[in-house]
Every structure is written in C-alpha cells, then in structure tokens.
C-alpha cells in the first residue's frame, strides 16, 4: 500500500505543479493583458469624457457670447445682413435733400465677405440744417452707409446755397455661414417682415 500512496502522492504533486504552471501562464498571458487593456480603456474613456465635458462647456459659453453679441447689435446686423441696398430708396433720399445732384460710382470692392461701393456725391443744399438732417436720415435707411472724408462744403453766393461734395460708401454682407454654424443654429437670422 505504501507504493500506492507514494505513487498517488507523486502524481498529485505533478498534477498540482502542472495546474499551478498552467494557472500562472493563463493568468499572466490571458487574464492580466485583458485587465491592463480594460484599465487603459477605462482611463482613455475618462479622459475623453473630461475633454468632451470641457469642450461642451466652452461651446455653450461661446454660443451664449455670440448670441449676446447678436442681441446687443441687432440693428446693425439687420442692416448689414438682411437688406440689399436699394438704389431707388437712396436716390429718393438724396434728391429730397440735394438740388442739382450728381452721383458717380468711384469704386467697388469685395473683400472679407463685404461688398463695398463708394460713390462721390455733389449737390446743393439750402442750409447747414438741411445737411445735418440728411446725415440723420441716412441712419434710418435699412442698410449700412458710411460718409467718409473728404467732405467739402463751399458757399455759392450767387444762389445763396451750399455746394457739398462728399463720399458715401455702402456696405453689404456677402457672408455665407459655415455648415457647422448652420447646423448648430448659431447663424444670424434677420427678423421676418410682418
């Protein structure tokens, strides 16, 4: 019987050692790499989530700033983006304030998504008050106009009027929003006429 016990003990020890070796190999070669890969993926997911949350917060803050800027400058944006300059409306205003009016287009350029047309105006006004009234009425037009130097005013003693020469620049936006701006509903939208 003792041979049987010895043989049984030796076989059990060998099987035990074989089991331990296979378990160690299985743990180190199969299970541990999966644990390390899982930990690495978990770390990457946490990092991606932090980046996403920060980016989302920054985007929301910038969106709020853009919307605030649009709200603060609503009238200017309406004039710049919503309306194409109407030559007939401008001519009517000019003829209302000036006599013997001559208009000459001096320049036209398109850069940085803005169309700029520069006109040289020469005409006669009855008084300085009429000229100031004209400048105030320019603000009421539904597009962006800019009076620029040189502004020349001479008194015409024969007709008791003032001869005025000035440059008028009309600006209009040619901007087309990027697809992301359109998708995220950040583009400026002029109010719809009633």
* pLDDT, tens digit, 9 for 90 and up, residues 146-190: 777 667 788 877 777 888 888 888 877 776 666 777 677 766 666
pLDDT in tens, 1-38: 567 788 888 889 999 999 999 999 989 999 999 999 99
With b meaning 16 or more CB within 10 Å and e meaning fewer, what string describes 157-188?
eeeebbebebbbebebbeeeeeeeeeeeebeb
């Amino acid at each position: 019987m003792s041979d049987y016990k010895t043989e049984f003990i030796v076989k059990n020890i060998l099987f035990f050692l074989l089991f331990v070796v296979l378990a160690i190999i299985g743990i180190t070669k199969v299970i541990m790499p999966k644990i390390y890969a899982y930990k690495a993926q978990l770390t990457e997911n946490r990092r991606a989530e932090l980046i996403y949350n920060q980016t989302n917060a920054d985007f929301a803050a910038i969106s709020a700033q853009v919307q605030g800027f649009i709200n603060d400058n609503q009238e200017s944006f309406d004039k710049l983006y919503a309306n194409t300059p109407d030559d007939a409306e401008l001519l009517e205003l000019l003829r209302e304030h000036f006599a013997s009016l001559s208009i000459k287009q001096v320049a036209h350029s398109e850069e940085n998504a803005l169309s700029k047309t520069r006109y040289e105006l020469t005409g006669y006004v009855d008084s300085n008050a009429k000229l100031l009234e004209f400048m105030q009425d320019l603000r009421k037009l539904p597009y962006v106009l800019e009076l620029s130097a040189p502004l020349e005013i001479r008194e015409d003693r024969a007709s008791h009027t003032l001869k005025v020469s000035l440059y008028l620049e009309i600006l209009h936006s040619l901007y087309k929003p990027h697809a992301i701006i359109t998708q995220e509903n950040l583009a400026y939208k002029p109010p719809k006429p009633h």
